[in-house]
Amino acid sequence: MKKVLLAQCPDEAGLIAKITGLCFEHNLNITRNNEFVDKQHGRFFMRTELDGNFDNLDLLAELQASLPSGSTLSLHGGEATKVVLLATKEAHCLGGVLLKCFEQALNIEVQAVIANYPDLAPLAAGFNVPFHCISHEGLSRDEHDALVGDKIAEYAPDMIGLAKYMRILSPEFVARFSGQIVNIHHSFLPAFIGAKPYHQAFERGVKIIGATAHFVTDELDEGPIIMQQVTPVTHADSALSMAKKGRDVEKQVFCKALELAAEHKLFINGNRTVVFD
């Protein structure tokens, strides 16, 4: 059996030896190991791929007892990460994830798609994924978020992906699913915030455009960044051609961010992330 052990804790000497030593005592073979020390904040992060016969409770309990106070440990098998996707009307990010899941290129189970418009119902149906339209019309932001949150809770997902979900989330919603929400944003944050970002980029004559995937916090589009990617543009590009190129980058970055989450390669470290890829 293969599993992934995640550990983060205050840094001190000998942590790698303690963790790997206990794994050896449990007759577990380490097939891959990554570690990182945030020296500024004194935090240690480690991701270890293990092979062998597991007694999860004993291993985690012994590790918890041997590591510093405040340590966080988890052990993950090869099961698919459960994800609920939120969408509005744009299809590219949603379609990109659904296609990769269909191709078995992502270790993700898309449990449902929830949108505030019905436009993408045929896309979800084409991949046999449940679709729920929860309109925001006539509702306050808090009321709508409560309804969406209750529907998400029915599925109890590991992650929530905002596949171009064009709604500002309430603090209550973000707190309810803290550390679970991944968003995709056009451009490098915080450039070109607001409506028609590619038109703004065109007017400024930019030479690269890109996308940023990040965890969601109460600060709009300011959460810990997971990954970013760019593509070049020239004076010959129009706002429409830039938007087309931008959608391609957004799709790639969003899918990659969910892949990293599904493979347990992400740690949230304050307003930053540690990404083992």
Q: Which of 270, 208, 259, 265 is nearest to 83 (CA)?
A: 259
Report the alpha-carbon distance of residue 32 to residue 55 in Å, rounded: 20
How far apart CA 81 and CA 71 sit, in angstroms, is: 23
Give the whole-angstrom CA distance, residue 159 versus residue 144: 20
Q: What is the 3-state secondary structure (H, E, C) of 217-262?
A: CCCCCCCCEEEEEEEECCCCCCHHHHHHHHHHHHHHHHHHHHHHHH
Question: Is 221 a known active-site residue?
Answer: yes
By the 8 A CB rule, do 123 and 98 touch? Answer: yes
Name the token pair of 235.
């004076």
Find the Cα–Cα–Cα–Cα dihedral 98, 142, 272, 274, rounded to 10°.
-40
From 11, 38, 119, 221, the catalytic residue? 221
Distance CA 15, CA 73 (A): 13
What residues act catalytically? 221
